[in-house]
């Protein structure tokens, strides 16, 4: 009879919040948010749901904790940047790649406004905007615009990738089909769309993303100069 409490204690000690979060990330990456259930998690960890609830109160809390782990790794990783502009560029691309690798992170961030995952990104980008010399009164709007672009474009790219996987679509074939449709649009109604049809076929999502960041950084520099 005395052995059972010691065995239970050892199991609870080994079932740390970090282990639970890492297992959750694996489930989210493989099965998406629908696949993250306490039942699936308990099977993966070879324990009961009650032991997990001891550490994590709800699925919402678990999703936020998993999101925060990915964001913390991304924001705390060394970046190649000797100037604020280069650092912002590197941080933006790191978040783009993180959301691409973990598509659920984008939606998790939008459902946790003001919480630690978003605060980490806000703080890291905000420090660089301040280092650029942006006036205090303009810093909030500048950082908000950068975050909206980084998370919005990153999230949309991840959503596109997820949709393609669900539909069994090959990216190059899908873009070829859309490009063909665009090129056959009415030239009077859709002159611009027709003109970029060929570029759609060969474009690189990461390159386009960075081009947008560069446009924003040039705008920040121009506004500061004025």
Residue 44: CB atoms within 10 Å: 13
Mean pLDDT across the chain: 88
User: Any idea where the domains of the chain sit in the sequence?
Assistant: 1-56, 79-225
Superfamily designation of domain 1-56: Homeodomain-like (1.10.10.60)
pLDDT in tens, 89-132: 999 999 999 999 999 998 899 888 889 999 999 999 999 999 99
Give the pair of three-digit tokens for residue 140: 């909030």
Mean pLDDT of 54-63: 89
Considering the domain 79-225 in this protein, what is its CATH number?
1.10.357.10
CA 128 vs. chain centroid, Å, equals 20
Cβ neighbours of 143 (radius 10 Å): 21
pTM above 0.75, yes or no: yes
């Amino acid at each position: 009879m005395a052995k059972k409490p010691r065995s239970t204690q050892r199991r609870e000690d080994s079932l740390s919040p970090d282990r639970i979060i890492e297992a959750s990330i694996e489930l989210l990456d493989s099965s998406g948010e629908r696949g993250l259930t306490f039942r699936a998690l308990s099977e993966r960890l070879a324990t009961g749901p009650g032991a997990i609830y001891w550490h994590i109160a709800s699925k919402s809390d678990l999703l936020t904790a998993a999101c925060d782990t990915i964001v913390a790794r991304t924001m705390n990783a060394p970046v190649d940047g000797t100037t604020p502009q280069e650092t912002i560029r590197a941080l933006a691309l790191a978040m783009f790649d993180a959301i691409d690798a973990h598509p659920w992170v984008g939606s998790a961030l939008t459902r946790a406004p003001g919480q630690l995952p978003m605060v980490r990104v806000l703080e890291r980008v905000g420090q660089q905007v301040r280092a650029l010399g942006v006036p205090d009164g303009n810093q909030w709007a500048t950082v908000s615009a950068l975050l909206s672009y980084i998370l919005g474009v990153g999230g949309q790219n991840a959503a596109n990738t997820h949709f393609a996987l669900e539909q069994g679509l090959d990216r190059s074939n899908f873009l070829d089909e859309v490009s063909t449709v665009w090129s056959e649009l009415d030239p009077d109604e859709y002159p611009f769309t027709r003109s970029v049809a060929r570029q759609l076929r060969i474009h690189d999502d990461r390159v386009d993303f960075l081009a947008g960041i560069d446009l924003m950084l040039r705008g920040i520099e121009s506004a500061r100069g004025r």
